[in-house]
């Protein structure tokens, strides 16, 4: 999911770059050398997992998985998604050079919101907690991106209102699929390799359960 | 899926010989000038220039068309949606929906600009080795950590793509068929999770090996850049053409798109 080149007006894509610069600067502060390979791995997996086609009735859709990036990388998710967008623009001409900013803001912003949702799991304690909050993170990550996309189209001109509404409506089935896949992934990772997940709290640490 | 954008970097051409730093800077300006266009005649001039540029790179046609097909799929629906959904007066009605010429004009403008920009992007990154393009970006003051992550990501992408194909084959061998139900979604979730863990552990080993060989956050390269007069001449030509395009567009000689483009 991305905005293609040539659609948005100059103020809108410039605003996209401005927003991305701010979020990138904030979320990449104090980046440790050891984090560089980890972020790159998640970016690659995010990049190729978006090639997976999921059947949806007679059609099929591609996974987005920005929610999962948030669940795995936390605040660093923004950098990973931005890199993925840059590579897509360079390799596929998917998206495009001038829309790198707005596309990063759209998917990366969604990933950050997904991480905030994911963190709320610490406030609850029940059996399938990781699945439920993973699914919520996946769903909310996707729909937040859809809202940013629709907003960018609407601010570009009245002529795009119908397209914006169509795009937003199309996000509802995508959101459900993302919820199921990200939920299952989060629950699986929690069982198989919990330290890969973001925002874990060590048992008995000062923060503890609250 | 063609992921190796630099597959034809060894072809000899006037663009391939261009110093990557000057090439990225000058053609980058060209791309942003195209993005500013709001009149169809200037956009047509832009696409003609982009087509000439891509011819100069000597990239094979099938490679270029493959790249363009992604943009096409996304943009062709605009030709139907835009005229029928454009607000304001419409020329005639189709199936009860008003058809507005202005909408068709906007769709055409979007299409021409998008295709031109993709062509120029292919000319930039299809004509140098990927790692050299990235090093050139670093010389152009792109943050070192971003360049490094781009290089790692590009490298890993091919490795993990192979891993994903192997996993997919083994799933199919065990009789997996994707359907629209919860079971399929759960399997996909586990699939992505497994892919993450495998990739992560592999990279962890690679990173330890790098550390043991003295990696301290810098990548050393044997590549050195050299700019000659001809590199600057090419860059100057590209920048002058970009400025002329922008000037022509803003001159008011041609009618501009009314909405959605200002």
Which of A75, A57, A55, A77 minimizes the C-alpha distance to A65? A77
Say whether B185 and A196 touch across the interface (CB within 8 A). no
Residues β-bridged to residue B98: B93
Partner-chain residue, chosen from A34, A87, A93, that has the shortest CB–CB distance to B70: A93
Looking at every residue in chain B, the average pLDDT score rounds to 84
- What per-residue confidence (pLDDT) applies to A203? 55
| A84-93, A111-120, A194-203, range with greatest mean pLDDT | A111-120
| Contact yes or no for B225/B131 (Cβ under 8 A) | no
- What per-residue confidence (pLDDT) applies to B256? 63
> What share of chain B in percent tops pLDDT 90?
17
Is the pLDDT score of A208 beyond 60?
no
Say whether A5 and B114 touch across the interface (CB within 8 A). yes
- What per-residue confidence (pLDDT) applies to A8? 85
Say whether B188 and A54 touch across the interface (CB within 8 A). yes
pLDDT in tens, B16-73: 888 889 899 999 999 999 988 888 888 899 999 999 999 888 888 888 888 888 788 8
B230/chain A closest Cα distance in angstroms:
26
Is the pLDDT score of A79 beyond 90?
yes
Partner-chain residue, chosen from B68, B117, B180, that has the shortest CB–CB distance to A6: B117
Which of A7, A124, A202 minimizes the C-alpha distance to B259? A7
Binning chain A into helix, strand and coil, the percentages to the nearest 5 are 70, 5, 25
pLDDT-derived band at B255 (thresholds 50, 70, 90) equals low
Angle between helix A161-192 and A66-73 (nearest 10): 40
Residue of A nearest to B199 (CA): A41
Residue of B nearest to A182 (CA): B189
Q: Measure the CA dihedral A99/A28/A114/A52, to 10°.
A: 60
Residue of B nearest to A166 (CA): B81
B103 class by beta-carbon count within 10 Å (0-12 exposed, 13-18 middle, 19+ buried): buried
CA A176, CA A145: separation in Å to the nearest integer? Answer: 14
What is the SS3 assignment for chain B? CCCCCCCCCCCCCCCCCCCHHHHHHHHHHHHHHHHHCCCHHHHHHHHHHHHHHHHHCCCCHHHHHHHHHHHHHHHHHHHHHHHHHCCCCCCEEECCEEECHHHHHHHHHHHHHHHHHHHHHHHHHCCCCHHHHHHHHHHCCCCHHHHHHHHHHHHHHHHHHHHHHHHHHHHHHCCCCCCCCHHHHHHHHHHHHHHHHHHHHHHHHHHHHHHHCCCCCCCCCCCCCCCCHHHHHHHHHHHHHHHHHHHHHHCCCCCCCCCCCC
Say whether B146 and A83 touch across the interface (CB within 8 A). yes
CA B65, CA A93: separation in Å to the nearest integer? Answer: 11
- What per-residue confidence (pLDDT) applies to A191? 92
Residue of A nearest to B191 (CA): A185
Q: Looking at this predicted complex, what is its ipTM?
A: 0.87
Q: Which residue would you say has higher pLDDT here, B89 or A148?
A: A148
Which of B139, B115, B119 minimizes the C-alpha distance to B27? B119
Looking at every residue in chain A, the average pLDDT score rounds to 87
Is the pLDDT score of A204 beyond 80?
no
- What per-residue confidence (pLDDT) applies to A200? 75
Ramachandran sector of residue B153 (left: φ over 0; alpha: ψ -120 to 50; beta: rest): alpha
The answer for residues whose C-beta is within 8 angstroms of residue A159's C-beta and 6 or more apart is: B82, B85, B86, B87, B102, B103, B106, B259, B260
Say whether A34 and B199 touch across the interface (CB within 8 A). no
What is the SS3 assignment for A40-106? HHHHHHHHHHCCCEEEECCEEEECCCHHHHHHHHHHHHHHHHHHHHHHHHHHCCCCCCCCHHHHHHH
Residue A4 DSSP class:
P
CA distances from B74 to A172, B46, B111 (A): 19, 21, 10
pLDDT-derived band at B223 (thresholds 50, 70, 90) equals confident
pLDDT in tens, B165-217: 999 999 999 998 888 888 889 999 999 999 999 988 988 898 899 889 988 77
Residue of A nearest to B63 (CA): A92
CA B110, CA B45: separation in Å to the nearest integer? Answer: 14
Partner-chain residue, chosen from B103, B121, B216, that has the shortest CB–CB distance to A93: B121
- Most B CBs within 10 Å, among A91, A174, A177, to test the B interface: A91
pLDDT in tens, B234-243: 888 889 888 8
- What per-residue confidence (pLDDT) applies to A207? 45
Q: Radius of gyration (Cα) for chain B, nearest Å?
A: 23
Q: Which residue would you say has higher pLDDT here, B89 or A167?
A: A167
- What per-residue confidence (pLDDT) applies to B257? 58
Say whether B35 and A9 touch across the interface (CB within 8 A). no
Say whether A196 and B192 touch across the interface (CB within 8 A). no
pLDDT-derived band at B260 (thresholds 50, 70, 90) equals very low
């Amino acid at each position: 999911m991305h905005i293609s080149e040539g659609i948005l007006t100059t103020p809108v894509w410039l605003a996209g770059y401005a927003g991305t610069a701010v979020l990138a600067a904030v979320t990449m502060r104090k980046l440790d050398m050891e984090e560089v390979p980890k972020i790159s791995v998640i970016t690659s997996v995010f990049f190729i997992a978006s090639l997976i086609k999921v059947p949806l009735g007679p059609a099929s859709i591609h996974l987005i998985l920005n929610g999962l990036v948030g669940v795995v990388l936390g605040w660093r998710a923004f950098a990973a998604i931005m890199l993925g967008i840059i590579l897509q623009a360079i390799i596929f001409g998917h998206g495009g050079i001038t829309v790198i900013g707005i596309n990063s803001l759209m998917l990366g912003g969604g990933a950050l919101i997904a991480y905030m949702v994911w963190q709320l799991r610490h406030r609850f304690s029940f059996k399938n907690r990781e699945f439920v909050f993973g699914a919520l993170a996946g769903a909310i990550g996707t729909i937040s991106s859809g809202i940013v996309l629709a907003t960018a189209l609407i601010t570009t001109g009245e002529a795009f209102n119908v397209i914006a509404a169509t795009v937003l409506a199309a996000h509802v089935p995508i959101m459900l699929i993302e919820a199921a896949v990200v939920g299952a992934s989060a629950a699986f990772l929690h069982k198989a390799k919990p330290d890969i997940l973001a925002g874990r709290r060590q048992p008995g640490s000062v923060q503890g359960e609250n | 899926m063609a992921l190796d954008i630099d597959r034809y970097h060894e072809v000899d051409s006037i663009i391939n010989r261009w110093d990557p730093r000057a090439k990225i800077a000058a053609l980058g300006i060209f791309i942003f000038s195209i993005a500013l266009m709001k009149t169809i005649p200037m956009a047509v001039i832009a696409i003609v220039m982009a087509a000439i540029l891509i011819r100069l790179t000597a990239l094979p046609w099938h490679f270029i068309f493959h790249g363009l097909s992604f943009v096409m799929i996304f943009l062709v629906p605009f030709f139907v949606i835009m005229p029928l959904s454009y607000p304001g007066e419409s020329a005639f009605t189709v199936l009860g929906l008003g058809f507005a010429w202005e909408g068709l004009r906007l769709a055409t403008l979007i299409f021409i600009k998008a295709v031109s920009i993709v062509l120029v992007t292919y000319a930039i990154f299809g004509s140098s080795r990927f790692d050299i393009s990235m090093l050139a970006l670093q010389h152009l003051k792109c943050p070192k950590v971003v360049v490094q992550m781009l290089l790692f990501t590009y490298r890993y992408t091919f490795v993990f793509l192979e891993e994903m194909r192997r996993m997919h084959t083994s799933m199919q061998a065990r009789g997996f068929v994707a359907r629209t139900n919860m079971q399929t979604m759960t399997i996909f979730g586990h699939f992505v999770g497994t892919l993450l863990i495998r990739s992560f552990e592999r990279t962890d080993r690679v990173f330890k090996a790098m550390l043991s060989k003295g990696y301290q956050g810098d990548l050393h390269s044997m590549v050195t850049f050299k700019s000659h007069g001809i590199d600057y001449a090419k860059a100057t030509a590209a920048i002058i053409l970009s400025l002329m395009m922008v000037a022509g567009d803003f001159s008011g000689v041609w009618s501009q798109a009314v909405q959605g483009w200002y």
